[in-house]
A = this chain, B = another copy of it.
Amino acid sequence: MTGRDGGAALAPVGNSPVVILVRPQLAENIGTAARAMANGGLFHLRLVAPRDGWPAEKAYRASSGAHAILDHATVHASVAEAVADLHRVFATCPRPRHIVIPVLTARGAAAELREICARDLRAGVLFGPERAGLDNDDMAAADTLVRFPLNPAFLSLNLAQAVLVVAYEWWLAADATAPRRLMTNETHVATKAELENFLGHLIAELDASGFLRNAPKRPGMVRNIRHLFERGEVTEQELRTLHGIVTELARGRRSRGRDEGG
Q: Which residues of A contact B (CB under 8 A)?
A: 1-5, 7, 9-10, 32, 35-36, 38-41, 64-66, 92-105, 107-108, 111-112, 127-128, 130-131, 133, 145, 147-151, 153-162, 164-165, 168, 171-172, 175, 177-187, 202, 205-206, 208-211, 221, 224-225, 227-228, 231-235, 237-238, 241-242, 244-246, 248-258, 260-262
Partner among B10, B93, B246, B253 whose Cβ is within 8 Å of the Cβ of A253: B253
B residues within 8 A CB of A147?
Answer: 177
A149 touches B177 (CB 8 A): yes
B residues within 8 A CB of A97?
Answer: 183
Chain B residue, CB-CB nearest to A211: B248
Partner among B108, B128, B241 whose Cβ is within 8 Å of the Cβ of A228: B241
Q: How far is the CA of A64 from the CA of B262 in the complex (A)?
A: 65
B158 touches A2 (CB 8 A): yes
Q: How far is the CA of A52 from the CA of B1 in the complex (A)?
A: 18
B41 touches A151 (CB 8 A): yes
A149 touches B161 (CB 8 A): no
Q: How far is the CA of A45 from the CA of B93 in the complex (A)?
A: 28
Partner among B10, B128, B177, B245 whose Cβ is within 8 Å of the Cβ of A1: B128
Known: A161-B164, A182-B101. A1 touches B187 (CB 8 A): no
